[in-house]
């Protein structure tokens, strides 16, 4: 049975069951990714930025004879932002290829259509069944990135310390666990607005104005995701010349996510990119005792960023693709196929 589902009011047993399904999916599709822990899963699913909405549905098995909660074997949610709905769907490996995934997508697509949104976007992990699934539904590929993973056990820390200090005169680095301090928020947002070397998918919105940046940091904290920032300050102007952001999710604190890394146009060529990323790894090593790996996403055309990441020890892991489709077309197509 597929029904609309609100993580804020769901029972703990339902949250636990969904987590079990997510971990079964990870073990099958991405066995080298860490399983998720039962920490702030409800908040991760429920919290959104101001002005955004996430609507969720679950596919739940009938309860066993003795009562209790029927297992949650499928889940779909759509995050409504701008004119696009960003979709995520999950089906337990034991019940795949029975049409449940298609049914969940249709349920979400109908709502996105009714709400007046234009298109649906989705992140698709390369080399998993999701690729054939979305292609069979008519989604088209918009953008391809490479996910790379750095194993901290292989890092040469003395070399890294050299990189962290190998920066041109006139700049100094600052480390800010939790986010940039309020007095730097405006300069920070300006740096993000000016230029962005995209390290994350287009579907993950980046924040360019100070209020949006504050909201986005708040939202991360509420979802159980700890942000860390290293920035390079240009001493003469007080401008933020470069910044790098890493988030450690409480749901999988052994593997951190690299978010944006930016070096402003006027400050390129001074080793800032390498230095801020090296400093970040050194800080994370002491701030996050459980951390084993960091993952990052890069456009395949971003040669400068790929070169720095390779120097730091990142190894390409797999493709990470973005697909999209016109909502009306999707609903029509799926309804016609029923
Ligand atoms: C992608 C996914 C949702 C598909 O769920 P599903 O219930 O098996 O999908 P359906 O049965 O509705 O399949 C619909 C169509 O998609 C295509 N498809 C789905 N899985 C496929 C596979 N493994 N190989 C080839 N085609 C496939 C087929 O055309 C299928 O139609 P058919 O069975 O009539 O041939 C499921 O595999 C899943 O949860 N994957 C993980 C998703 C994810 O986000 N992973 C990242 C986080 S871990």
In tens, the pLDDT along 263-285 reads 998 999 999 999 999 999 999 99
Tokens of 282: 């050194």
Cα-to-centroid distance, 130 and ligand 1 (Å) = 5
Check: CB of residue 213 under 8 Å from CB of residue 273: no
Which of 72-76, 263-267, 300-304 has the lowest average pLDDT? Answer: 300-304
Give, in order, the Cα–Cα distances in Å from 283 to each of 113, 154, 240, 277, 278: 45, 16, 19, 10, 9
- Tell me what pLDDT residue 202 has: 46
Tokens of 247: 């988030």
To the nearest whole number, what is the mean pLDDT of the chain? 93
Which of 73, 97, 138 has most ligand 1 atoms within 8 Å of its beta carbon, as the pocket-test mutant?
97
Bridge partner residues of 170 (DSSP)? none
Q: Is 116 left (phi over 0), alpha (psi -120 to 50) or beta?
A: left
Phi and psi at residue 197, to the nearest 5°: -85, 105
What residue ranges in the chain does DSSP mark as E strands?
2-5, 53-60, 72-81, 84-91, 119-125, 140-151, 171-177, 225-234, 240-249, 255-263, 293-299, 315-326
Mean pLDDT score, 118-146 = 97
Which of 58, 124, 133 has most ligand 1 atoms within 8 Å of its beta carbon, as the pocket-test mutant?
133
Check: CB of residue 229 under 8 Å from CB of residue 244: yes
Atom of ligand 1 nearest to the CA of 125: 46
User: Atom 21 (ligand 1): residue with closest C-alpha?
Assistant: 129
Cα–Cα distance, 155 to 313 (Å, whole number): 7
User: Atom 35 (ligand 1): residue with closest C-alpha?
Assistant: 97
Mean pLDDT score, 133-139 = 97
Q: Is 158 helix (H, G, I), strand (E, B) or coil?
A: helix
Tokens of 19: 């987590």
What is the CA 42 to chain-centroid distance, rounded?
Answer: 17
Which residues surround ligand 1 with Cβ inside 6 Å?
25-26, 29-30, 89-91, 96-102, 125, 128-130, 132-133, 136
């Amino acid at each position: 049975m597929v029904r609309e589902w609100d993580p804020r009011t769901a029972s703990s047993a339902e949250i636990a069951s969904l987590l079990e399904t997510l971990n079964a999916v990870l073990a099958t599709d991405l066995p080298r990714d860490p399983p998720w822990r039962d920490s702030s899963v409800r908040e991760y699913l429920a919290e959104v930025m101001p002005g955004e909405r996430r609507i969720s549905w679950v596919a739940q098995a009938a309860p066993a004879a003795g009562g209790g909660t029927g297992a949650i074997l499928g889940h779909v949610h759509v995050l409504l932002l701008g004119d696009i709905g960003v979709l995520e769907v999950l089906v337990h490996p034991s019940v795949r290829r029975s049409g449940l995934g298609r049914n969940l997508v249709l349920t979400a697509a109908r709502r996105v259509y009714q709400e007046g949104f234009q298109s649906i976007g989705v992140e698709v992990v390369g080399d998993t069944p999701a690729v054939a699934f979305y292609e069979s539904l008519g989604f088209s590929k918009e953008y391809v990135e490479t996910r790379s993973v750095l194993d901290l056990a292989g890092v040469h820390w003395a070399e890294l310390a050299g990189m962290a200090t190998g920066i041109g005169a006139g700049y100094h680095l600052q480390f800010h666990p939790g986010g940039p301090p309020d007095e730097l928020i405006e300069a920070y947002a300006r740096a993000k607005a000016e230029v962005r070397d995209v390290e994350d998918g287009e579907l993950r919105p980046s924040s360019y104005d100070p209020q949006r940046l504050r909201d986005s940091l708040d939202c991360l904290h509420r979802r159980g995701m700890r942000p860390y920032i290293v920035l390079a300050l240009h001493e003469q102007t007080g401008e933020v010349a470069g910044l790098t952001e890493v988030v450690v999710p409480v749901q999988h604190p052994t593997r951190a996510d690299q978010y944006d890394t930016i070096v402003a146009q006027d400050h390129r060529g001074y080793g800032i990119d390498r230095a801020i990323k090296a400093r970040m790894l050194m800080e994370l090593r002491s701030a996050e005792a459980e951390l084993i790996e960091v993952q990052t996403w890069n456009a395949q055309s971003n040669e400068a960023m790929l070169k720095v990441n390779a120097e730091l020890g990142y190894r390409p892991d797999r493709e990470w693709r973005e697909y999209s489709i016109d909502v009306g077309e999707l609903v029509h197509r799926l309804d016609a196929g029923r």
